[in-house]
Amino acid sequence: MLGVIHEVGLVNQCMPTQYSFNSYHDSERKREAFEAMLARRPAGIFCSLLDMDRSDIEYAYKKGVDRILVLDVEPHDDLVTLYLPAEQVGYLAASHLVSLGHRHLSVIKPADPIQARGFALRLEGMKRAVSGVSNCQITVIPWPADNLRPTYPAACGVVRDFFLSKENRPSALYAYSDDYAFTLLAASFDAGIVVPKDLSILGTDDHEYSALCRPALTTIRFDTQSQGLLAVAMINALLLGEAHDPVKKKQQNPELVARDTTCALAHRS
| CATH code for residues 2-84+223-252 | 3.40.50.2300
For the segment 75-133, what is each residue's pLDDT rounded down to a tens digit?
A: 888 999 998 899 999 999 999 999 999 999 999 999 999 899 999 999 999 999 999 99
Q: Are both 2-84+223-252 and 86-221+256-267 of the same fold?
A: yes
Q: Tell me, what DSSP letter sits at residue 249?
A: T
Alpha helices in the chain (DSSP H): 2-8, 27-39, 54-62, 86-99, 116-130, 152-159, 178-190, 224-239, 245-248
pLDDT at 150: 96
pLDDT in tens, 185-205: 999 999 999 999 999 999 999
Architecture of the domain defined by 86-221+256-267: 3-Layer(aba) Sandwich (3.40)
Enter the pTM of the model.
Answer: 0.89
Measure the CA–CA gap between 188 and 182, rounded to whole angstroms.
10
The yes-or-no verdict on residue 269 having pLDDT over 70 is no
CA–chain centroid gap for 186, Å, is 21
Cα dihedral sign, 168-100-195-207 = negative
**Of residues 25 and 88, which shows the higher confidence score?**
88
Strand 68-72, strand 80-83: pairing: parallel
Domain boundaries, the chain: 2-84+223-252, 86-221+256-267
